[in-house]
Structure 1
Amino acid sequence: MASKPAADIITSIGGAENVVGLTHCATRLRFTLKDASGIDQAAVEAVPLVLGAVPQTGNRYQVVIGGAVETVYNDIMALPAMKKHAGDHGTGDTAADVKAAERAKGPRGKFAWLDTFFEILSDSFRPILGALLGASLFITFMALMATLGVIPSWNAPGVTLDPSWAFVNLMWQGVFVFLPLMVAYNASKRLGADPWVGFGIMAVVMLPGFNALGLTDGAETVFGGKAAVVQIFGLPLTVTDYSSQVFPPLIMAVVLGLLTKYLKKIIPSSVQLIFVPFLSMLIMIPLTAFLIGPMGVYGGAALGNFLKSINDFSPFIFAVVIPLAYPFMVPLGLHWPLNAIMLLNIQSLGYDFIQGPMGAWNFACFGATAGVLFLSIREKDRQMKQTATGALAAGLLGGISEPSLYGIHLRFKRIYPRMLVGCLVGGVILGLGGGVKTSAFVFTSLLTIPAFDNIPLYAGAVGASFITAMVLVILSGYKTPEQKAEFAAAQAAGTIASEETPPVSDIAAPMVAGASSTGTATATAVATVLATVGSPIAGIVVPLADIPDPVFSKGIVGLGVGVDPTEDTVYAPAAGKVLVAQATGHAFGLRLDSGVEMLIHVGIDTVNLAGKGFTVKVAAGDRVEAGTPLVTFDRKVIEDAGYSLVTPVLVTNPKKFGSVDQAASGQVEVGSPLITVTAK
């Protein structure tokens, strides 16, 4: 891939000098910036390959890329201007970047220890998601071959496969059998310990020689033959299979991290390289084998059995609750423990029962994205079409929900209620059918449907989730009335605002008050002025940068000024046609006879009043003259609701002109020159 998108991303966030640190996860670039307050989000999202952008607290900023995130990350790090950040990758900065703005909405934002717990879980799994996804497709292929009768049930006890198929079956086992080693490495690194020491400690209990200890004379079989106890120097050692286990390496890494910090405090720095690893292994290997390992195995099994008891008691309730909970768990990172339990279920029970209901959530999520894609094509919204296409492909083919979630759904809150209905429909179908199981950890996508034991039931449930969410989004739309008004006004110029609007730095300086097309300005201005827009309302002029809404103040929607009204009627500033007249009365889009496209937005966030206090005088398609009343409003209603009365008056097609300038300051009357537009 060319490096231009990488360079454009860096430019759009303020340049390399504004970057403090950069990491990435499975779908997102995670920036820590010196100053994120002035970023033009529309400019970021207009960059090819960018699916969306998510501002966060503490000058952190996420750019959603999707499956190509690693390639884009590498291209960015290869930029000459980013050389100073080349050593940042893998230094442990990821933890700071992961603390998303969503944290404040849930328990993670209230308890630091809980936040740390979920961060450790996510950082332990995130780097190996690609390997897990790849292995899950091999498992799905084996399941499909068994379903079609090409091979016998590949995972049934006592089944022997032909050597050729046995080799294919080995392709996924390397990832899942040695998963504890991968988790141990990532978790140890996250907690400040030597990751290879953590890897080595966990490797001891996975050696064939360790398992052979349970077969020696005098070993006592326990837990129904799943483990054995043998005496080692007079102490009981529990020997069990640690393949695919995730809780033992997580607990081991926590203790190792604490031990490493302590040892570095008491051991002189000159000999730490030798004695910190040695003493860590000397202490942690026996501690893991005798205590941490068994505690993790059976503690995790207890959690899995608890969920299993709920599912056994009522598969219907379980199948409905899980997909309804996931849309709120994923943004907060609360889904990671369930992922760990899924893996443990497969290792201990031989199957998992959580992934089926989880699929209902995933496909409802993808269905909502498909609905957005349909609407973006119909509305000729190129940017949203690009975002939704990438997110839908990542979901249906990879089972990855983050591009949809962060790129679209959390930005357009109307989507969530429709998506939840899809989750409910899929969950109800699964529950009525008695639920489904899978013998492998898979990402719930189109490609992994054959991995479930009841394919017709699962396919029907996720299909219903997808179609329900998609249809509801198509029927109701995903934009609020305010978002529709802003988009329609910008699109009237032939493009959406993010493609057409120049950056704030391109805004011309205010001209002398009173300039007009009749020649009251300077000689240079007279020669270039194309039109002068009169004020649609009496009031006090507010410069663009001072409008109390970043969507307007940053020039994202258009260029112009604000007016803090002193009267209660808004008039057409000149002759033209009404393009948009919101029923709520808060926004109007006009095309003036001069070719200037206007957006007049009465107050800030006043769409939330749902028309209360507004009396609309015109409709879309009406012809208006200068001074035609557009709307009257009740100041008290707006003020009592806590909303600003400042009314942005914006030119939404500024690139068609040479400049758009403020033409007045202070008090203006209806029709007084407010904005001058010069020809190119």
Structure 2
Amino acid sequence: MDFEKTAKDIIKYVGGESNVISLVHCATRLRFNLKNNAKANKEKLEDVDGVITVQESGGQYQIVIGNNVPEVYRAIGEHSNILDDNKTSNQGNNENSGNIVSRIIDVISSIFAPFLGVFAGAGILKGLLMIADNLNWLTDEDGTYIILNAASDSLFYFLPILIAVTTARKFGGNIYTAIAIAGALVYPSIIDVAEQDMSITFLGIPVVMMTYTSTVIPIILSIILMSYLEKLCNRFIHQSVKNFLTPLILLIVMVPATLIIFGPIGITLGIKIADIVLAGFNFSPLLAGAILGGLYQILVIFGIHWGLSPVIINNISVYGGDGIKPATGASVFAQAGAAFAVFLKTKNKKFKALSGSATITALFGITEPAIYGVTLRLKKPFIAACIGGTVGGAIIGYGGTLAFSTGAPGILTLPIFYGPGGQGFLAMVIGIAVSFIISAVITYIIGFEDPVDDPAKGPDAGNENEAIETVDEQIMNPIEGTSKPLTEVADPTFSSEAMGQGIAIEPTAGRVVSPVDGTITVAFKTKHAIGIASDKGAEILIHVGMDTVQLDGKHFISHIKEGDKIKVGDVLVEFDMDKIKEAGYEITTPVIITNSNQYSVIEPTNRKNLKESDTLLTLVPKE
């Protein structure tokens, strides 16, 4: 992969640098927070070399890369200002922030994703030291053990500082002030007071001292408030003194406030969460494990799994171990097993290579290539993996396996499940093995619809839309109005023709009719845009107005859904032109051929005033 080219293409097709609020990455995905998701070109992004798939989930625009995601992320930083620390992630500017659940998931993933790689590395080292200690290869008095233990434990000890950095970046606060506040929580004298259970006061106010090393919730609450207080201070303090006066106020206010209010609240909340999780496993460890093992990858697809990350870390902090992480390992190895069965059974050479590499990647804890590239695409293998994960998760839960550190469950991270005396470790090994075997056997027996081995089309040759050959075609006018060149549209996403060539219409009537015989491929829930695949091969996007996605469907009436078969002249969408204009939006409507690269000629009409029955575009395919 040419990381530089991949990075530049991704920046271009997410709508440009100006459309990006923030970017983080996890083990396999670039997680963009965009100002307007409609400005991103999903089809173009999925065609970029190195991109596995693109999805919108948890309030984020996620681009699945695979194991090369750090290199692509780094290249994006080198060729843009997207990763600058002073580039804040103001949620108020995000037109796609979504519901409260999506916002919470977005916040959690943005806070924890940046350091999960080093988390996994430190966790593996911590697990290996546990094994060495249990087998008497090393003792805690050996110099080797002391040095390596410091290397493995420092991240967890100073966890509030790392979380302060990512939380400040997410909410637009000053990172260095956030570090200072977090550092105060783990300052030696503060720790000594807490460990000696001493009673102290601040300006006469009693302070309940607690130990904040390895904690999660207190510092998140503190830095969120700090970020808003910082903006308030900067609004009223003169710019000549705000660079030092604002941090001074924040330190004076936030450190005591955290120790007096947010710290006790956060730790108490963390203990309650840990108690609830423990109660679930105490009620039925077998059932809890089965549910997590069977459903975890479904949570991954929707991005909801991020909600478990702080719970897992909190459990390890409160009780020294966590039962959620081991059960999710069953689902990981189940996906590997299903992908392996596809590798054995498929006759498609390219799909065999894809499923083989996805199997190896999944065995090391990264399931996205297996899910999006293989099992979910074929459907039945994904169901088989859910079944295998359920059985394996039940075994792991019943065996009482705990994770003593965090990291993506895989072959290399098995040491994090090895606790004192090896309790539960055998159940973990048996559970993941059973998950792999059951998923593989079920997939192999029930089979799947094997993609046609067409060298020209590869693993997706079975896709009906991709199999259509483009021919000479006329695209009829979908909206009565006045034509204008696409290059004159105010929005550069369209005028640059990055999404494809076409034409724009200034509507004089508030309805959209079908310009071709074909199929609805995309029916946006906001009703402002429609994707159509014509029976002759053209792929068409009709986008009513500029930035009308922000109306969230208001003033639009849709008459279609995805998959509908349509004929020329069928009414697709109706819209109230006057109310859209009153709301402050342009109604200029681009009509774009999104697979323009398949045509040698895309000729717009030269007529100015257009009726619905007029020819709008003439297409001539490449030979």
Cα pair distance change 1:93/1:546, threshold 3 Å: farther
CA contact (8 A) 1:184 1:202 kept: yes
Are 1:142 and 2:142 matched, yes or no?
no
CA contact (8 A) 1:356 1:458 kept: yes
CA contact (8 A) 2:336 2:363 kept: yes
Deviates more, 1:169-178 or 1:333-342: 333-342
Cα pair distance change 1:56/1:253, threshold 3 Å: closer
For residue 130 of structure 1, the aligned residue among 117, 132, 138 is 117
Cα pair distance change 1:96/1:491, threshold 3 Å: farther
- Show CA shifts across 1:20-70 (max 9, x none): 6773411223565988689584x7556543323336799x85431122112
Amino acid paired to 1:447 = L
For residue 385 of structure 1, the aligned residue among 346, 353, 361 is 353
CA contact (8 A) 1:501 1:556 kept: no
For residue 518 of structure 2, the aligned residue among 538, 544, 547 is 547
CA contact (8 A) 1:246 1:343 kept: yes
Q: Look up the match of 1:193.
A: 173
Amino acid paired to 1:133 = A
Are 1:177 and 2:157 matched, yes or no?
yes
State how far apart, in whole Å, the 2-side matches of 1:544 and 1:259 are: 53
State how far apart, in whole Å, the 2-side matches of 1:92 and 1:180 are: 20
Q: Unpaired runs of 5+ in structure 1?
A: 104-108, 153-159, 222-227, 512-541, 563-638, 648-656, 662-674
CA contact (8 A) 1:547 1:646 kept: yes
Q: Look up the match of 1:117.
A: 104
Are 1:420 and 2:386 matched, yes or no?
yes
Q: Look up the match of 1:358.
A: 328
Sequence identity of aligned pairs in percent? Answer: 24
CA contact (8 A) 2:517 2:534 kept: no
Q: Normalization by structure 1: what TM-score? A: 0.63
How many residues are paired up?
Answer: 504
Q: Look up the match of 1:441.
A: 406
Q: Look up the match of 2:362.
A: 395
Cα pair distance change 1:428/1:259, threshold 3 Å: same
Give the C-alpha shift of residue 272 in structure 1: 2.4
State how far apart, in whole Å, the 2-side matches of 1:545 and 1:496 are: 28
Q: Unpaired runs of 5+ in structure 2?
A: 418-422, 475-512, 523-529, 540-559, 569-597, 603-618
Q: Look up the match of 1:491.
A: 454
Equivalent residue of 2:241, what SS?
A: helix
Cα pair distance change 1:231/1:25, threshold 3 Å: same
State how far apart, in whole Å, the 1-side matches of 2:218 and 2:281 are: 25
Cα pair distance change 1:434/1:167, threshold 3 Å: same
State how far apart, in whole Å, the 2-side matches of 1:251 and 1:391 are: 39
Amino acid paired to 2:404 = S
Cα pair distance change 1:201/1:325, threshold 3 Å: same
Give the C-alpha shift of residue 252 in structure 1: 0.8
Equivalent residue of 1:447, what SS?
A: coil
Deviates more, 1:160-169 or 1:470-479: 470-479
Cα pair distance change 1:468/1:262, threshold 3 Å: same
Cα pair distance change 1:232/1:76, threshold 3 Å: closer
- Equivalent residue runs for 1:650-669 within 5 Å: none
CA contact (8 A) 2:6 2:50 kept: no
Q: Look up the match of 1:28.
A: 29
- Equivalent residue runs for 1:407-556 within 5 Å: 407-409=373-375, 411-431=377-397, 433-452=398-417, 453-479=423-449, 487-488=451-452, 491=454, 495=458, 509-510=472-473, 546-550=517-521
Q: Look up the match of 2:283.
A: 313
CA contact (8 A) 1:64 1:407 kept: no
Give the C-alpha shift of residue 71 in structure 1: 0.9
Q: Look up the match of 1:67.
A: 67
Equivalent residue of 2:23, what SS?
A: strand
Q: Look up the match of 1:225.
A: none
CA contact (8 A) 2:105 2:306 kept: yes
Q: Look up the match of 1:595.
A: none
Give the C-alpha shift of residue 188 in structure 1: 2.0
State how far apart, in whole Å, the 2-side matches of 1:203 and 1:57 are: 31
- Equivalent residue runs for 1:359-374 within 5 Å: 359-374=329-344
CA contact (8 A) 2:294 2:388 kept: no
CA contact (8 A) 1:66 1:390 kept: no
CA contact (8 A) 1:356 1:437 kept: yes
Cα pair distance change 1:179/1:30, threshold 3 Å: closer
Are 1:644 and 2:558 matched, yes or no?
no
Q: Look up the match of 1:576.
A: none
Q: Normalization by structure 2: what TM-score? A: 0.68
- Show CA shifts across 1:330-389 (max 9, x none): 33443334322222222222222222212122222333333344455x32235x733x45
Q: Look up the match of 1:202.
A: 182
Larger gyration radius, structure 1 or structure 2: 1
CA contact (8 A) 1:501 1:557 kept: no
CA contact (8 A) 1:23 1:30 kept: yes
Give the C-alpha shift of residue 268 in structure 1: 3.5
- Show CA shifts across 1:237-286 (max 9, x none): 22222111001111112221232233233333443222221111111111
